[in-house]
Structure 1
Amino acid sequence: MHLSPALLEQGAPLRFGHPTHPTARVLHQIRTLPHATRVLLRDTLGLSAPSVTRHVRSLIDAGLVEESAPQGSDDRVGRPQTSLDIDARHVVIWGAHVGARSTTVLAADGAGRVIREADVDMAVSGHAPEQTIARLAQGMAAVGRGLPAPVAAGVAFSAHVDHAGRVTSPAYGWEGVDPGPLLGDALGGPVSVTAGVSAMAGRELAASPISHGEPASALYFYAREVVNHAWIINGTVHRAHSGRAPGLLLPSAPDGLHPLGNAALVQAAQRRGVRVPDFASLVREAARNPRVRELLDARVDHLAQAILLSLEVIDPEKLVLAGDAFHLDRSGLRRLVTTLRRGWGRVQINLAAPQATRDAALMAGLHPFWSDPLEYVGA
């Protein structure tokens, strides 16, 4: 891989936020403001006109930005403002998201357009971490086969990632595993690591233009096989380690399952005699079985209390809900929103895109490149 090892703090997980490097900030605005102009870049970033010109020229020369005259412009009336759009088709990144029960790997270009995507058939629990990481590296290499070498690669884990990049997850059966060096050895270059919910929240920031005003604060709450959250404050993602949740639906969560996760909920239903293989089936069963609906609603109420507690702590302007717990169980989502409106009515509530795990895989690979793009393309 054509990577710059000095750009990664060895062992440290990714820290998501709006870029600080001037050239990266210019690229960020061009990505997020359709058909941006140099004047718009100057006004939104507070840069001088010569600085904007210099940074734009560097990005164009590196093949990361393209410019074009607006359609229907008339050269007889002054000089038309050219518009700027991201290009970066020649740049390739690799990303992955490792879930408790499913893993996604992908290759994308430097603009974030997915080129290839695949699911890796592997069970994290029940295998040694080294075996899982080797299988993950094989999957990442396979999805990038035949493409230009990646300039950056990253993996998001649906688990706690500490300050040194070590992963601990009862669902994985991992305790203090350091996947970065193992992946780097397998793939031939530095591989960044992050918690999945941090990368998902980072995607929210990556899609929003930088503004002069005070950045909006947000709580990003994810519920699928695990339940995690991250805070977006002052243009930066903060991931708190919330510890282990108590067994609210089961006396104890078996096999390391999160007690409020989908798999634990399915097992709780099975112990009550409901024969369903997965969470989607459980939601369908709830439409005709009041006992199952009560079980789902119990989980919804516990999630609502957890969210309300977090809202009281940070008082964000926006709440983003992500994961199958919300996307598949729409009746539960309505119940949750009603409870949240009643308890904390002033927050804006948004539902994240369904492909949150794919977004996490994207951001794990893209964020280092977007933070300092010219270093990664050797410009």
Structure 2
Amino acid sequence: MTVAYAPSGTQTSRGLILDRVRAEGPVSRVELAERTGLTQASISNLVRALLDEGLLLETGERTFTGAKGKPRVLLGLNPRARCSVGVQIGADWIVLVLTDAAGSVLARTRIRGARSTPPGHVVRDLAEQVAIMLRLANVERDIVAGIGVVAPGALDVQAGSILASPSMPLWEQFPVRDALERASGLPTLLDNVATAAAMGDFWSGTIPDATAHCTIYMGASISAGLLISGSIYRGASSNTGPLGSVRFQGDRRSGQTLEEVAGPRAVAERARAAVAAGRTTTAKLSDDHDPFSDFAAIATAAVHGDPLSMALIEESADYLADAVVALVNILDLDSVTLAGPSFTTAGSLYLPLAERRLRSESFALPKHTVTVKLSAQVTDAASVGAAALMLQHSLSYPA
């Protein structure tokens, strides 16, 4: 079964119900009608069908509407009714997670990245890893919605292929979605990293009240995923949010991209240049000049108060905050999360600077504040989000 995305704005009524129950926790039928705009009759029919399928359950809780009012039965999502696999393909590492319908991680594994390995070999390894995870987690294949895959670069999500990827040139034009579907025997979809991370934040229920939300994802690159009223904003081709390619103008970094001034590689390069110039640091830089290992070491040293490391992270955070402020003001966002492995340790340093900048520079501050927080799944946001995208598609558009 090849998974194709439905056009924007065509989410089914059952999808709306499942999203509200998942995002808000136990709710009544009356509350679902109020929040989805569906009629009471439609809610009754849809809820009955979802209860029969085992996707929803009656929690046993009641809410009361008054002294003489009939208590309302609350509905909740059945977490083990469906499971899903999320795969983040990267040049250096590939992360796989197995999640339940509530987004809880049941199993996780990591294998070597896809930079120099032929795609066909990687796909076979992925299919084997998926089978192993299902077996170890004691999950039957018939409740697995499928596999959500995210990858770096420009994508053709309808065709399920990577169009261009500087870090993984062997994968350009490779039909990764169809290849993995054939190898695993499970429905598969392909999406971009930041979009998946944003959906993972929504699926986890940590941003239920956000009207306009952005997840800033920083791994090897920097990108942004957008959700408007809980729906993904995809743009013309589902290639939204490549923040790392934005160029600065008019300051000492003029002409450089955000990745070249704020990304992990840039931070690592500046650290090595500072050490070569005689600066001292407690950060243990790698012998093989691995920029991502170096960034992790710098972030750890910064958290522990190393002056050079703190200065480097703060410089990166300030440039990243430039991009966050611009996005918030252009799109009138009310919610931002930071996600990705680069924020695993350093997130506690990036977060307060972004908050401080938004408190003074948010254009719509007289009307509303902007909530800024770390993602519920900072390190694995993209793979958890990929699983969430597959779950949402499966639950909204059943075969």
Map 1:109-258 to 2 at 5 A. Answer: 109-118=100-109, 120-145=110-135, 146-149=138-141, 150-163=144-157, 164-167=159-162, 168-173=164-169, 174-207=171-204, 216-234=211-229, 235-238=231-234, 239-242=240-243, 244=245
**Aligned equivalent of 1:350, options 364, 368, 372:** 372
Q: Does 1:281 align with 2:275?
A: no
The one-character-per-residue Cα deviations of 1:119-141 (angstroms, maximum 9, x if unpaired) are x2212222223333332332222
Q: Distance in 2 between matches of 1:131 and 1:337?
A: 44
Q: Which digits, 9 at most, give the CA deviation of each residue in 1:259-299, with x for residues without a partner? A: 63324422442344364232232123345543333332332
Partner of 2:264: 262
Instruction: Give the CA RMSD over aligned residues.
Output: 3.6
Q: 1:265 to 1:177 in 2, by over 3 A?
A: farther
2:43 is matched with which residue? 52
| Matched AA of 2:147 | A
SS in 2 for 1:181: helix
- Could you tell which deviates more after superposition, 134-143 or 235-244? 235-244
Aligned residues of 2:327 and 2:333 also touching (Cα < 8 A): no
Pair 1:104–1:42, CA change in 2 (3 A): same
Cα distance, 1:343 vs structure 2: 2.8
Which amino acid in structure 1 is aligned with residue 150 of structure 2? A
Secondary structure, aligned partner of 1:177: coil
Q: TM-score with structure 2 length normalisation?
A: 0.76
Aligned equivalent of 2:94? 103
Describe the superposition over 1:61-86 as per-residue Cα deviations: whole angstroms up to 9, x where unpaired: 1111111443699xx97753222111
So what's the TM-score if we normalise by structure 1? 0.79
Work out the percentage of aligned pairs sharing the same amino acid: 21
Instruction: Tell me the amino acid that sits aligned with residue 372 of structure 2.
Output: N
Structure 1 residue 337, shift from structure 2 partner: 3.2
Deviations 1:245-265 (A, max 9, x none): 66999x999xxx966332442
**Whose RCO is larger (CA < 8 A, sep 6+)?**
1
Task: Report the Cα distance in structure 1 between the residues aligned to 2:263 and 2:107, rounded to whole angstroms.
Answer: 29
Residue of structure 1 in register with 2:13 after alignment: 22
Q: Which amino acid aligns with 1:342?
A: S
> C-alpha distance in 2, partners of 1:264/1:41?
48
- 1:83 alignment partner, SS class: strand
Alpha-carbon distance in structure 1 between the residues aligned to 2:194 and 2:23: 22
The amino acid across from 2:39 in the alignment is S
Query: Separation in 2 of the partners of 1:78 and 1:301?
Result: 54
Deviation at 1:228, TM superposition (A): 0.7
Partner of 1:31: 22
Q: In the superposition, relative to structure 1, how do residues 354 and 280 fare at CA in structure 2: closer, same or farther (>3 Å)?
A: farther
- Give the one of 325, 340, 352 matched to 1:334: 352
Change (3 A) 1:88 1:285: closer
Return closer, same or farther for 1:198/1:171 CA change in 2, 3 Å cut-off: same
The answer to which of 281-290 and 27-36 deviates more is 281-290
**Per the alignment, do residues 341 and 159 of structure 1 end up closer, same or farther by CA in structure 2, a change over 3 Å counting?**
farther
Among 297, 315, 319, the alignment partner of 2:336 is 319
Q: Secondary structure of 2:27's match?
A: coil
Structure 1: how far apart are the matches of 2:63 and 2:199?
A: 37
Kindly provide the CA deviation profile for residues 298-350 of structure 1, in whole angstroms up to 9, marking residues without a partner as x.
32222122223333432322232223444523344433433343332625131
Gaps of 5+ in 1: none
